[in-house]
Structure 1
Amino acid sequence: MRRLFFLVFVTIISSSFFYKGIAQNTSERGNQFHQELSKRTGPIHLLWDELLQKHVSDDGNVNYKSFKTEHKKLLGYIKVLGLFHSNDIFKTISKEEKLAFWINAYNALTVDLIIRNYPIKSIKDIKNPWKQRLWKPANLNYNLDEIEHDILRKMNEPRIHFAIVCASYSCPKLQNKAFTAEGLEKQLTTATKEFLADTNRNEISENSIKISKIFDWFSKDFTKNGSLIDFLNLYTDINISPNTKKRYKDYNWALND
């Protein structure tokens, strides 16, 4: 147990700015990190946060060429996620911590998938991108479809659809900050509002809406507590009429670079 958390701790501090100001006694720091992880998962995502800020613009455009130069760091982060997922403490963390964990994992694995195949023009240039077995924590074997449909969607938080990305122009932008339990509510709200306000992805007025196909593909997720219009009105500044007819925009699968 102690060795596992020491390895997690070392992986983070050796690859990120997290090491600044730490004590020399790594054994003590390992124990402190163990205690901290029982309360929150934030430290785990520091390396992902650093990579996002370096290689993703405020508009969500990803510089995959520069990201690829730090592929080893990305793989180190993914390994840390696997180590934490494999530990018993993972079973005890809050819903918010699990949501942040799985959102970050999905996005990191998507970036990893693109980098492995870069240069490409679209994620669809990759054979079965959402079915590939990308990650094997605790002897499990996850693909992107399973993380999205079997884990995240079952957590009853429809805003996850604006937090996870498919590396494409029409998908929600990749946020250039890691998701954390502490900031999750604000981050999900911001991601949802930004997506709806982006006229390249949605065209919304009081009596006419032409919206992303995400709302068609996952319609059940947005109508559990009311109509789709009810959901949209929660996150737009425009008061959409209840009787407004909806249309869907064509989905552009060009790479988000």
Structure 2
Amino acid sequence: MGRLDGKVAIVTGAGSGFGAGISQAFAAEGAKVIVADISQAGGDATVKANPSAMTFHKMDVTNSADWKATVDAATHHYGRCDILVNNAGTSYKNKPTIDVTEDEFQKTFDVNVKGVYLGCNAVSAVLKEGGVIINISSVGATRPRPGLVWYNASKGAVSNATKGLAAELGPRQIRVVSICPLVTGTGLFSHFTGVEDTPENREKFIFNVPMGRIGEVDDVSSAAVFLASNEAKFITGVNLEVDGGRCI
């Protein structure tokens, strides 16, 4: 018996990184998964790992019509939807705030905040009692640092909305939680830190991490499986830091 047997999940940004890892972990635990991503190639690569349990659906999380089509795809392929993982996210490259363009700011908030707003509205309308929404936030939501000011602010909005939605949807027995990862080796290390991904540069970012390393994809996917499962049936409104103790 898998921990998510009989469940149907939509995972956004599922063509790479956390989204791919979460989709594959959910499928391994018995869930059926709509792998949603703007990249056809990325989505197909994720599905290839377990095609009997996953179906790709191309979508742009900033488009409300795409959200309706994605929810329709879940009900068409699998008859229901139980879990939403709002994982799709973006950022500009780490740099001084004065150098952040208006277009970079707008895209960051459109994907990271508007995408979560649209997803929660579209999916909460069809979630049954016991449904789960997992938002991927960031340690930057509560421990912002120079260089990614508006990215961190967008994740602060996600963490705040997680708590508000948990309070609002709780009477329907829908749980809303977020995962707040530390920077991980997903290929975005340079993007987030502003320096090349080398062992020497990684050392500069882990000196204040009690567990002495950056994050890994399975740190986040394992947390997502737990939060989506009945093992977490009384956990809601939590912004779970998966950070090796960085935020202490």
Q: What TM-score results when the alignment is normalised by the length of structure 2? A: 0.29
- Greater share of strand: 2
- Greater share of helix: 1
